[in-house]
Structure 1
Amino acid sequence: MQDFRMDTFLTVCKYMNYTKAAKELNLTQPAVSQHIHFLEQTYGVELFAHNGKRMELTRAGEILKRSALTMKHDEFHMQEKMRHAAGDVQNYAFGATLSVAEFMITEDLERFILNHPESHIRVEVANTKELLMKLDAGELDFAIIEGEFPKDEYEYLLYSQEEYVAAGNKKIAERFRGASIKDLFTERIILREPGSGTREILENELKRRGLQVSDFANLTEIGNIGVIQKMLQAGLGVTFFYQATIKGKEELQVIRLNDFKLRHDIMFIYRKNSIFEKDYRQIYEEFRENGKMDKEGKFQK
């Protein structure tokens, strides 16, 4: 069981403020200070430093934070495994970003469910930032994401590579065929909400070119891919997302730009140094199994 002072440490990391941490933990500020002092004495290092009025983690504090988050996650997972050890039901909880959940893992998930008919499987769909928070809190075992993440805190395996394209209705796709990305700046850009992996890819690519989303004539933000697709069909603008998103939709087409060709890695991630790493890798291999199913719904190896 993780020491209660470690929870205090993680809460201080969350706010970088003793007063706010004390309020969330329902403790006095001196008690929070005592908990941090105890940890610093135990490990023989300083965990926090002050840069002017700003509080920040030391390098030792960063190491402890990463380790503490993994331990917290593993303890939660261990409790779940112990709780269900006596029964036949296995619990799986994982996250996926919206584009991944809707367009990239449905067949893999279907095969996984057929192979584990007695299991309880919970899939949470959210943007990358929210999923990372749930992983750290122990609410999820692993996640399949498209957005950026700190690679020093998570183990990661390549799940797939997806074409990332500009898209619009047939008329717009034809008008801008062979054009440059700057030529699209005359159009309204329709994007997911800030924090979504699909949007981050475009923002990072534009930044690399010295450009930004505000260079487009107008911006519309919508947190639902289906609605974005309908707006594109109506000719209300252009967007950038995965080519898989418009598969089978004849009304929408890729805008073939002369200076934009991008593939993006979809990653399977879990907390680094987890004691359950073997379990997660086994799930990854089963998700990525390319064999055919037999009549009973099992994989043919």
Structure 2
Amino acid sequence: MLDFRMKTFLTVCESMNFTHAAESLHLTQPAVSQHIKYLEEIYGAPLFLREKRGLKLTPAGEILRQALETMRNDEEHIKKRIKSSLVNQKSLTFGVTMTIGEYAVIPALAEFIKSHPETNFHIRYGNTQTLLSELREGIIDFAIVEGYFTSEHYETRNYQTEEYIAVCAARHQFQKPIRMLKDLTGERLLIREQGSGTRAILTKTLALKNMSIHDFQRIVELENIHAIVSLLCRDCGISFLYKAAVTEELKSGRLVQIPLVDFMVMHDFTFLWNKGSLFSDEYEHIFQELQKGGPF
């Protein structure tokens, strides 16, 4: 169980303001300051820098924040485990991004669920940034995500590598010959929302070519991968997606890959959990089981 002063520290980290933390904890500001001073004496390092714009974590403070967040999340996980044991059940909560959860992981997930009849599963869908936030907050135990993120806070494993392609309706008529990525900017772009890993990959790829999403004349932003695929099939624009998300449509001939000489992208789907978790061995086993598509 976290020491009450550690909980004060995490609360300050949320607002980066002693006064707000005191109000949230129903403490006086001097009490909050004393708690932080105690921790600084225990660990022998300052935890916050006081700047004009407010507080900022020191390197030592960032290390402590990361460790305590993992401890807090493990504590919540232990509580859930104990509660489940009272009714002789296990419970597992994890997150997957839309593309992964709807296309890439289903066969392995089906085998995993059938291999654990004693376990209740709670599977949350969200974009990459949402799932990373839920992982840090202890809402989920682990996640499988796409896109880019800072890996220093997580244990990561490469779940699989997928091709990322430009795609449009088979009957789509381009106004000019298409050879390079820049040739597509006159098209209507169907794209996922901010925070989506699918969007982040496109954004970074465009940036490497001194381009951006805003170079496209028309944009349709959607939060649902099925909606994007359906609109593509109805010839409402072009998009950039993982090939796994449109495999059936490509096979049936409703969609086609747009051939580009300067666009060849492969990207990882990443299995991850909070670094330093007490349950790291268990998550490692789950990763191995999902990769095999059956029990370990």
Shorter-normalised TM range: over 0.9
Q: Which amino acid counterpart does residue 124 of structure 2 have in structure 1? A: E
Counterpart for residue 296 of structure 1: none
- Cα distance in 2 for residues equivalent to 1:122 and 1:18: 36
- SS in structure 2 at match of 1:247: helix
Q: Does the 8 Å contact 2:107/2:293 carry over to 1? A: no
How far did residue 69 of structure 1 move? 1.1
Which residues of structure 2 form unaligned runs of 5+?
A: none
Q: Distance in 2 between matches of 1:252 and 1:16?
A: 49
Taking the TM superposition and a 5 Å limit, the aligned residue runs for 1:1-301 are: 1-172=1-172, 179-249=179-249, 250=252, 251-290=254-293
C-alpha displacement at 1:105, in angstroms? 0.7
Aligned amino acid, residue 255 of structure 1:
I
Alpha-carbon separation, structure 2, partners of 1:229 and 1:205: 21
CA contact (8 A) 1:90 1:118 kept: yes
264-273 or 128-137, which moves further after superposition? 128-137
Cα deviation for residue 27 of structure 1 reads 3.5
Moved more, 264-273 or 134-143: 134-143
Query: TM-score scaled by structure 1?
Result: 0.91
Name the aligned partner's letter for residue 80 of structure 2.
E
CA contact (8 A) 1:181 1:260 kept: yes
TM-score (norm 2): 0.92
% identical aligned pairs: 40
Quote the RMSD (CA, aligned, Å).
1.9
Deviation at 1:87, TM superposition (A): 4.3
CA distance in 1, matches of 2:263, 2:136: 35
Cα contact 2:166–2:239 (8 A) shared by 1: yes
For the residue of structure 2 that corresponds to 1:259, the secondary structure is coil
Deviation (angstroms), 1:175: 7.3
The answer to whether the 8 Å contact 2:178/2:184 transfers is no
Structure 1 residues without counterparts, runs of 5 or longer: 292-298
**1:177–1:255: 8 Å Cα contact kept in structure 2?**
no
TM-aligned CA distance change 1:28 to 1:147, over 3 Å: farther
Cα deviation per residue 1:115-162 (whole Å; 9 max; x = unaligned)?
011210000001111111211222211100003222111000110001
- How many aligned positions are there? 293
